[in-house]
Amino acid sequence: MADKEIKYIVRVANTDLDGFKPASIALTKIKGVGRMLSNFICQAAGVDRDKKAGELSDGEVGKLSDITQDPKRAGAPSWLLNRRKDYETGEDVHLITAELKFVTDNDIKRLKKIKSYRGMRHQARLPLRGQRTASNFRHNKTKKAMQAKAKRKGK
C-alpha cells in the first residue's frame, strides 16, 4: 500500500486546522464549533469523522466549510446553534470565528449601555451567574502579591 499524501494544514472557515488530527477533533479548533457540532458537520458532509483532516479531498473540505458557515441550512437542530432567537432578527443562527466575537462584544456593550444587572456586573468585572466571590474573581491580586513577596526576599 502506498502512503497517502497528508496535508499538514487544512483551511476550513478561515481557520487553519491540524492535518494529523481526526476531522471531528480538528473542526473544534474553529471558534464557535464544539464537539457536538463538529460531529454533526462531519455527518452532514458525509465525511468519516475519524479520518485525518489532512487526508480529506478538496471536495470534502469544501463541503465541511459550507456546512460550518451555515449548519442550519444543512438541517442542524436549533438546540445545536449558538445564537437562538437573535436579539435583532429573532432568528436562530450559528456564528463562528470573528463574527461570533463581534456580536458577543456588541451584546455586552448593549447590556452596559442599558445598565442592566448583567451589564453592571460586566462593568465591574464580577461574575454574572451567581458564583461566590469571596475567594475567586480577584483580578491581579495574586500576581501583585507574588511580586511583592519576591521583592521582600530580595530575589
Residues 101 and 71 grouped into a single domain: no
Which residue ranges of the chain lie beneath pLDDT 50? 1-2
Select from 82, 86, 80 the least CA-distant residue to 41: 80
Burial of 28 (0-12, 13-18, 19+ CB in 10 A): middle
Q: What is the pLDDT of residue 63?
A: 92
C-alpha cell at 33: 464549533
Residues 62 and 120 grouped into a single domain: no
End-to-end CA distance of the chain: 60
Residues 55 and 22 grouped into a single domain: yes
Q: What is the pLDDT of residue 66?
A: 93
The CATH number that applies at residue 72 is 1.10.8.50
pLDDT digits (tens, 9 = 90+) for 35-46: 999 999 999 999
Kindly state whether residue 86 falls inside one of the protein's structural domains: no
| Length of the chain counted residue by residue | 155
Q: What is the pLDDT of residue 149?
A: 72
116 φ, ψ (degrees, to nearest 5): -75, 170
Kindly state whether residue 137 falls inside one of the protein's structural domains: no
Residues 101 and 76 grouped into a single domain: no
pTM of the predicted protein model: 0.76
Q: What is the pLDDT of residue 141?
A: 66
- Find the domain containing 105 and state its range: 96-132
